[in-house]
Amino acid sequence: MLRFRQIEAFRCVMTTGTSVSAAQKMHVTQPAISRLVADLEAYVGFRLFNRVKGRLEPTEAGRRFYLSVEENFLGLERLKQVADSIRSEVSEGLTVACLPVIASTLLPPVLSAFYAETDDITVQVESVKVPDVLSKLQNHTVDVALSIAFAAAPGIEVEPLISMPALCAMPADHPLATRSVVHPQDLENERMIGWMPNSHHTYELELALFKSNTSRPRYTVVTDTAHTRYAMVAHGLGLSVVEPFASKVWRAHNIVVRPFESPVRYDYVIAYPRTSLRSDVVASFRKSALKVIAEYDFGIET
């Protein structure tokens, strides 16, 4: 019978170059390595190594077999990495991944509602961008995530949270602040703060919108976080088409937001690692998130 330990010993000899080094890596004796390799040779029916002056030299068949071993061993290594990540990164409470802007706006009231129903739970918050949200969900190193919507990804379950129209942020003394709604043509020749290329899918919609109109705003600064866009607006560097969550935070910095007439929307989701099992703690967090989002004050004045 082929045993994993035999494959592991063979791979260690191939990667370390000697049975002595392989034994040290596997924390066994050198004779144990030789025996495992010999048993593997007996099973496969051909020599994996030639014994040359006490050394193990891979045969051509051994080299070919090793290539196949490596291809299949990578899957096992991946499982080991996932297990290591779960063991080292996931707390015994609740681990939440979310975008930085959500971590500083929506998440605090969600956790307040969560703690009103749950005691003695430690929540670990990982403030990351969308690619990292996906990676952490797929690797099961977080229990739940709050994120802007993303394309379907293997191993992730997604539940819609809210869909919001884009807003236009500007200094309170800007002429457009007197408008109840800002239209694309209103931004003709205005300085604008935009997203970095490929950092956000709604930015593509934003650019396409201006290209389809006669209005041509001038992008002076591009960045990859929502709060940075608001900060640039606060310092008079331009206007910006923005997401809705941070708007009330920046009202204290002399910024106002107005509805922006466009097809640009921000869709948010709550996401989980794909599994048939979902803990009571995650269910309680979900309940809190849905309750808060239904009552959330976005601070939009018209």
pLDDT at position 98 is 94
pLDDT tens for 18-51 read: 888 888 988 999 999 989 999 988 988 988 988 8
Residue ranges of alpha helices (H) inside 57-145 are 60-89, 100-103, 107-117, 130-138
Summarised one tens digit per residue, pLDDT across range 100-153 is 999 999 999 999 999 998 877 889 999 998 889 999 998 888 999 999 998 888
pLDDT band at residue 279, thresholds of 50, 70 and 90? Answer: confident
C-alpha to C-alpha distance for 167 and 266, rounded to whole angstroms: 10
The mean per-residue pLDDT over the stretch 208-236 comes to: 82
The yes-or-no verdict on residue 203 having pLDDT over 80 is no
Tell me the per-residue pLDDT of 248-271, one tens digit each, with 9 for 90 and over.
889 889 999 999 988 888 899 999
Q: Domains of the chain (ranges plus CATH)?
A: 4-89 (1.10.10.10), 94-158+271-295 (3.40.190.10), 167-263 (3.40.190.10)
At 120 the pLDDT is 77
Q: What is the pLDDT of residues 70-92, one digit of tens each?
A: 777 766 666 566 666 655 554 46
pLDDT at 213 over 70: no
Cβ-based neighbour number of residue 73 at 10 Å:
15
- Is-contact 257 243, C-beta < 8 A? no
d(CA 270, CA 114): 15
The pLDDT value recorded for residue 126 is 94
194 φ, ψ (degrees, to nearest 5) = -120, 180
Arithmetic mean of pLDDT, 211-216: 66
